[in-house]
């Protein structure tokens, strides 16, 4: 296991220490997270609010985070293609709109960069998040790494199609005959 990078909370940039799982493995997070919608953080690379990123999309080392109520239009999706990472915020674990945003980014708009879940990300959600197109998961501060990694492998078979496997179980079984 690699050590996690700690971020200091400042008035300009509200950040949280989190464990990052990328493609099913723990990694050191090199991106800072800023929730300040007015000013750019000095440290780069940084994930910043969507509106701030749109004003400064030409600068290197910046990627956007989308609030869960973002309307993902074709124009916005085309703009997001410039970014190597798009983070989607879960303001509460009960807010499922982030799943839809990730799925739309991947399936409808073909986004190939990193899609990261941030915010209120709990162990119980991880498996489903990966099925919807998230490849990086920033766990909430109180969530533990080992149970999170186990949760990613909680199910061995999925019945329905999703971003990670676009063929339903019945079709896979018919093909295997």
**Can you give the residue range of the structural domain that contains 36?**
20-176
User: Which residues on adjacent β-strands are paired with residue 86?
Assistant: 115
Q: Measured between alpha carbons, how far is residue 37 from residues 9, 52, 101, 156 in Å?
A: 15, 6, 21, 41
Confirm whether 169 is domain-assigned: yes
Confirm whether 115 is domain-assigned: yes
Confirm whether 124 is domain-assigned: yes
> How many residues in total does the chain contain?
177
- Residue 111 has what pLDDT? 96
Confirm whether 25 is domain-assigned: yes
- Compute the distance between CA of residue 58 and CA of residue 64 in angstroms, rounded to an integer: 12
CATH number at residue 67: 3.20.20
How many structural domains compose the chain? Answer: 1
Task: Give the DSSP letter string of 31-77.
Answer: -EE---SSS--SSSSEEEEHHHHHHTTTSTTEEEEE-TT----HHHH
Per-residue pLDDT of the chain (177 residues; tens, 9 = 90+): 333 333 333 333 334 446 899 999 999 999 999 999 899 998 999 999 999 999 998 889 999 999 999 999 999 999 999 999 999 999 999 999 999 999 999 999 999 999 999 999 999 999 999 999 999 999 999 999 999 999 998 888 877 878 887 778 888 888 888
Confirm whether 14 is domain-assigned: no
| Residues 6+ away with beta carbon under 8 Å from 134 | 88, 102, 115, 116, 117
Confirm whether 9 is domain-assigned: no
- Residue 173 has what pLDDT? 82
- Residue 18 has what pLDDT? 63
Confirm whether 131 is domain-assigned: yes
């Amino acid at each position: 296991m690699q050590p996690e990078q700690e971020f200091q909370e400042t008035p300009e940039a509200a950040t949280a220490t989190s464990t990052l799982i990328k493609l099913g493995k723990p990694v050191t997070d090199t991106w800072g997270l800023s929730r300040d919608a007015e000013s750019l953080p000095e440290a780069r690379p940084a994930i910043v609010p969507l509106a701030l990123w749109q004003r400064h999309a030409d600068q290197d080392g910046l990627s956007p985070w989308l609030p869960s109520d973002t309307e993902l239009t074709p124009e916005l999706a085309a703009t997001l293609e410039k970014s190597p990472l798009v983070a989607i915020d879960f303001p509460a674990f009960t807010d499922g709109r982030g799943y839809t945003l990730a799925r739309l980014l991947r399936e409808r708009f073909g986004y190939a960069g990193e899609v990261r879940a941030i915010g209120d990300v709990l162990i119980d959600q991880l498996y489903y998040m990966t099925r919807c197109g998230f490849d990086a998961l920033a766990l909430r501060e109180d969530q533990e790494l080992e149970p999170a990694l186990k949760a990613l492998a909680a199910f061995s078979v999925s019945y329905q199609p999703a971003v990670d496997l676009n063929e339903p179980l019945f079709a896979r079984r018919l093909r295997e005959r």
